[in-house]
Copies of this chain bind each other. A is one copy, B any other.
Amino acid sequence: MQSFNPPVRTLMGPGPSDVHPRILSAMARPTIGHLDPEFVRMMDEVKQLLKYAFQTENEMTMPVSAPGSAGMETAFVNLVEPGDKVIVCINGVFGMRMKENVERCGGVAVLVEDDWGMAVSPEKVEAALQANPDAKIVAFVHAETSTGACSDVKTLCEIAHKHDCLTIVDSVTGLAGVELRVDEWGVDAIYSGTQKCLSCTPGLSPISFNERALHKVRNRKTKVQSWFLDLNLVMGYWGQGAKRTYHHTAPVNGLYALHESLVMLKEEGLENSWARHAAMHEKLKAGLTELGIKFVVDEAVRLPQLNSVWIPEGVDDAAVRAELLNTYNLEIGAGLGALAGKVWRIGLMGFSAKEENVLFCTSALKKVLGK
Contact = CB atoms under 8 A, between A and B. Distances in A.
Interface residues of A, number: 80
B11 A32 contact: yes
Contacts of A105: 225
A251 to B, nearest CB: 3
Q: In terms of DSSP, what is the predominant structure of the interface of chain A?
A: loop
Contacts of A33: 9, 11, 13, 16, 331
A39 interface: yes
A73 B66 CA distance: 13
B6 A226 contact: no
Contact of A27 (B27, B45, B223, B250): B27
A291 interface: no
Interface in A216-274: 223-228, 246-254, 256-257, 259-260, 262-263, 266
Contacts of A247: 69
A58 interface: no
A104 B226 contact: yes
A320 interface: no
Contacts of A249: 15-16, 67-69, 193, 195, 202
A228 B73 contact: yes
B203 A6 contact: no
Given A66-B228, A73-B226, 7 more contacts: A15-B249, A34-B202, A69-B228, A70-B228, A70-B248, A193-B249, A225-B225
